[in-house]
Amino acid sequence: MVDRGLGEFCILEAVRETSVTNRKATKLEDEDLLIAVLNSAPIVDGSPTDQLAVREGGELAKRLGGTGAKSELLHLQQTRDALQDIIRGDPDAADCLASALDKAVMLPEVTPDGIRWQLDAPVDERLSARVVLAWSHVVQQLPGRLRACANTECNLFLIDHSRPATAKWCSMTTCGNRIKARAHAQRARQGDRFDRSSSASASTPTGTLDSNR
């Protein structure tokens, strides 16, 4: 756990609106925040990268509503990695996600429009907690729709909004077409090998085959 200075304090932030008018907008914000963090470690030219690395991650964290502080980035990296693991089916990642919410509580605020739930968390853990809440909201509202890109050489994730729920790729123009082209080339090579072996078998003298049985 990262040590925090005396000057840091807990702040309140609205993360969930219960009024009907705000529900849709909150859902979209959840998805955008979740995907931005999940996809902050893309593989570029075959090498893993990290947009939340301490040197350059501050700007991304600020765009997502954070402070950009080093301690916040470290929490975000741990949370992102745990989310990636749990989406890929590792149940042990739940413990890491739980630790991201260790100091977070949701406080009710009664308003004329209903109850507004507010997140109360240490400032350097607030954005991580928001990301975990966003993940929970998405998987509960859209079960089975959050998944890793089917390209095993890709480290991006997608939320499938297609009607048949069959989306596989983070992007059809990159991963989808690339994998399909690779599969097509592999089938062509296998077909070529099959053709060569067939013609070789056809030309092999019967006596030679019998002697090898």
Number of amino acids touching Zn ion (CB under 5 A): 6
Considering the complex, state which of residue 68 and residue 176 has its C-beta at the smaller distance from Zn ion: 176
Using only the alpha carbons of the chain, give its radius of gyration.
25
**Do 120 and 106 meet the contact criterion of CB atoms below 8 Å apart?**
yes
Helix (H) or strand (E) holding 117: strand 114-122
Q: Min. distance of Cβ 37 from Zn ion in angstroms?
A: 16
Q: Min. distance of Cβ 30 from Zn ion in angstroms?
A: 21
Considering the complex, state which of residue 78 and residue 174 has its C-beta at the smaller distance from Zn ion: 174
Q: Min. distance of Cβ 49 from Zn ion in angstroms?
A: 14
Q: How many CB atoms lie within 10 A of CB 186?
A: 10
Site for Zn ion contains 39 (CB under 5 A) = no
Considering the complex, state which of residue 106 and residue 150 has its C-beta at the smaller distance from Zn ion: 150
- Those residues with Cβ within 8 angstroms of residue 170's Cβ, 6 or more apart along the chain or in another chain: 39, 149, 151, 154, 156, 157, 158
DSSP for residue 6: T
Considering the complex, state which of residue 38 and residue 156 has its C-beta at the smaller distance from Zn ion: 156
Footprint of Zn ion on 147-206 (CB under 5 A): 149, 151, 154, 156, 170, 175
How wide is the angle at C-alpha 105 spanned by C-alphas 51 and 59, nearest 5°? 20
Residues that bind Zn ion (CB under 5 A): 149, 151, 154, 156, 170, 175
